[in-house]
C-alpha cells in the first residue's frame, strides 16, 4: 500500500497542502477547527509525518536530550517525568540517556555522539561540568542545561537545588535532636557535605565522612555493616546520607544487625523520593528537592535559550525543605542538646 501524502490529507480535509503543512509544523498559524479537521483526515487515511524530512525543512527535530547519571535513582525518574510533561506541552519529545556515576569513558562517548545529532537542546547531569564536549555542543547551536550541578563561571545555564543549604538543614536537624557525633555517608565530599560540615563546625563538633564508593543502596549497606561493627561509643549517633538510596541501604543493614533507628543511630536522607516513605520499615527523614519542578524548569530554560541565545549562564536554584519522619524523630520529642554524648 502506498504511503499517504500531504496532498492526500489536504484532499480529504478539504484544505490546501500548505494548511496541512502548517498544521504539522506551525500549528499556531492554523485555527483550532481547521487543525482538528486536518488531524481527523490524517487519522482516516493513516498519514504519518516524516520526522526526518520535517527536521530538514524547519531546522529543528523537536527532540530534547536528557542525560542522567542513573536510571535506578528515583530522583532522576521524577526529573524525567517533569521534563517529559513540559516537553509534551511545548510540542517536543524527550530522548533519555544515562551515563553512570563516575563512568567518564561512557560519558565521553555519549557526548561526542550527541554532538553529531540534531537535538534542539541538551539537559544533562554530567560527571564533569567542565567537559569540553559540552562546550562543543553549545558552540554548534544546541542549548546545554546542566541539571543538579552548579556551573562555575556560568558557562552553561543550570537548574538545581541549593545543596549547601540542604546539607545545613540536615545537620542542624540532627544537632537539634541532641546528636553531637555526626557523619556524612556519600561517594564524595560535595556541596551537601560542605553545608553539613559548616553547621557542625558552629556546634564545635566535626563531621566524619563515610565513603560509600557509589550512590546506590549497596553503598548504604556497606556503610551500615561498618557502623554496626563499631562499639557504640565510637560510632556516630546521627548520619546524613547523600541521597535516599544510600539511606535506605543504611537503615536496612542497621536493622539486620539489630540496631534501632533512630534510638541507636538517626538517619537523614536527601531527595525525599518514594523510598523515604515506603521502602523500609522505618520511614526516612529526608531533605526534599522538587524533582518534578526541576525537570519542568530545565525544559522551559531550553525552550527559552532556543530563541534567546544570550541567556546562557542563568542559574535557577530551588530551595530544599526538610521532611521529618521516624528515622530521626521516632515517636517522641526532640532530645535535649548533649543527651547523646
- Digit-by-digit pLDDT tens for the chain (341 residues) are 467 888 888 999 999 989 988 887 778 789 999 999 999 998 898 887 765 445 444 445 578 999 999 988 999 999 999 999 999 988 889 999 999 888 888 999 999 888 888 788 999 999 989 899 998 898 888 999 999 998 988 889 999 999 999 999 999 999 999 999 999 999 999 999 999 999 999 999 989 999 999 999 999 999 999 999 999 999 999 999 999 999 999 999 999 999 999 999 999 999 999 988 875 679 999 999 999 999 999 999 999 988 775 556 899 999 999 999 999 986 444 443 333 32
- Closest listed residue to residue 69, CA positions, set 287, 242, 223: 242
Please work out, in degrees rounded to the nearest 5, the angle formed at the alpha carbon of residue 283 by the alpha carbons of 282 and 287.
135
pTM of the model: 0.81
Which is it for strands 63-68 and 182-186: parallel, antiparallel or unpaired? unpaired
* pLDDT per residue as tens digits for the range 227-263: 999 999 999 999 999 999 999 999 999 999 999 999 9
Separation of alpha carbons 176 and 57, rounded Å: 61
Q: Which domains can be identified in the chain, with CATH numbers?
A: 63-161+291-318 (3.40.50.2300), 163-289+323-329 (3.40.50.2300)
Instruction: Kindly report the backbone phi and psi dihedral angles of residue 123, in degrees, each rounded to the nearest multiple of 5, phi listed first.
Output: -115, 125
The answer to whether 192 touches 169, Cβ cutoff 8 Å, is no
- Closest listed residue to residue 259, CA positions, set 240, 231, 298: 231
* Helix, strand, coil abundance in the chain, percent, nearest 5: 45, 15, 35
Amino acid at each position: 500500500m502506498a504511503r499517504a501524502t500531504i496532498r492526500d490529507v489536504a484532499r480529504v480535509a478539504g484544505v490546501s497542502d500548505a494548511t496541512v503543512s502548517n498544521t504539522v509544523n506551525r500549528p499556531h498559524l492554523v485555527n483550532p477547527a481547521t487543525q482538528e479537521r486536518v488531524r481527523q483526515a490524517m487519522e482516516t487515511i493513516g498519514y504519518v509525518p516524516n520526522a526526518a524530512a520535517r527536521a530538514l525543512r524547519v531546522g529543528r527535530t523537536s527532540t530534547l536530550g536528557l542525560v542522567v547519571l542513573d536510571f535506578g535513582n528515583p530522583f532522576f525518574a521524577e526529573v524525567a517525568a517533569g521534563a517529559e510533561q513540559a516537553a509534551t506541552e511545548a510540542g517536543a519529545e524527550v530522548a533519555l540517556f544515562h551515563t553512570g556515576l563516575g563512568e567518564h569513558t561512557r560519558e565521553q562517548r555519549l557526548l561526542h555522539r550527541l554532538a553529531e545529532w540534531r537535538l534542539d537542546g541538551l539537559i544533562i547531569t554530567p560527571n564533569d561540568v567542565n567537559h569540553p564536549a559540552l562546550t562543543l555542543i553549545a558552540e554548534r547551536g544546541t542549548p546545554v542545561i546542566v541539571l543538579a550541578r552548579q556551573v562555575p563561571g556560568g558557562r552553561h545555564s543550570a537548574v538545581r537545588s541549593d545543596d549547601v543549604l540542604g546539607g545545613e538543614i540536615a545537620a542542624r536537624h540532627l544537632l537539634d535532636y541532641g546528636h553531637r557525633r555526626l557523619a556524612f555517608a556519600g561517594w564524595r565530599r560535595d556541596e551537601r557535605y560542605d553545608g553539613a560540615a559548616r553547621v557542625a563546625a558552629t556546634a564545635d563538633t566535626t563531621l566524619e565522612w563515610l565513603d560509600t564508593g557509589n550512590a546506590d543502596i549497596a553503598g548504604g549497606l556497606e556503610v551500615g555493616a561498618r557502623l554496626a561493627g563499631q562499639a557504640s561509643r565510637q560510632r556516630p549517633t546521627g548520619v546524613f546520607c547523600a541521597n535516599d538510596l544510600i539511606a535506605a541501604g543504611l537503615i536496612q543493614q542497621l536493622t539486620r544487625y539489630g540496631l534501632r533507628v533512630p534510638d541507636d543511630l538517626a538517619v537523614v536522607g536527601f531527595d525525599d523520593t518514594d523510598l523515604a516513605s515506603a521502602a523500609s520499615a522505618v520511614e526516612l527523614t529526608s531533605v526534599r528537592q522538587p524533582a518534578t519542578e526541576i525537570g519542568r524548569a530545565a525544559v522551559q530554560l531550553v525552550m527559552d535559550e532556543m530563541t534567546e541565545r544570550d541567556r546562557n549562564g542563568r542559574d535557577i536554584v530551588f530551595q530544599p525543605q526538610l521532611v521529618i519522619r521516624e528515622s530521626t524523630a521516632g515517636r517522641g520529642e526532640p532530645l535535649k542538646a548533649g543527651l547523646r554524648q
